[in-house]
Amino acid sequence: MSMEIKYFIQNVTLTGEIKEFLHEKIQKFSRFSNKIWEARVDLSYNPGHSKDQVFRLEINLRLPDKILRGVARAPDLQTAVNTVEKKLKRQMEKYKGAWEARNRRTKKAVRHKKTG
């Protein structure tokens, strides 16, 4: 299953370099789960905010029964991306663990039903 990436940009020029950088970071999450349907990237630049919060990045990963969301404000894009990446990685690990536990319980119940 291929993940679709949608970009929503405000006050920033989305150069090929930035898009490729974001794409690489988002594709890393497919290692955790091949069930990611869509990634939505909201990136904005607001020079009116304090200097350590001019970039705002939000990435939403849409999975079959859940949406994972990471948001960060930072002085530069690199820092925002790294912060969001860490947040989403923690959520993906938790999601993957819960998904695997649910599958184990289901398989165990099916086994008991067959033998019982």
91: left (phi over 0), alpha (psi -120 to 50) or beta: alpha
pLDDT of residue 106: 66
Q: Is the pTM of this model over 0.85?
A: no
Strand order in the sheet with 4-10: 4-10, 38-45, 55-63, 66-74
* Closest-CA residue to 92 (of 21, 22, 25): 25
pLDDT of residue 44: 95
pLDDT of residue 1: 54
pLDDT of residue 112: 61
pLDDT of residue 15: 92
Find tokens 């938790």 and name the residue. 94
Find tokens 């993957």 and name the residue. 96
In the predicted model, residues of the chain with pLDDT beneath 70 are 1, 99-100, 102-116
> Domain 4-115 in CATH: superfamily?
Ribosome hibernation promotion factor-like (3.30.160.100)
Domain ranges in the chain are: 4-115
pLDDT of residue 60: 97
User: Roughly how many angstroms between the first and final C-alpha of the chain, as a whole number?
Assistant: 37
Distance of alpha carbon 93 from the chain centroid: 11
Dihedral in degrees, nearest 10, Cα atoms 70, 31, 40, 44: 50
Q: How far apart are CA 84 and CA 89, in angstroms?
A: 8
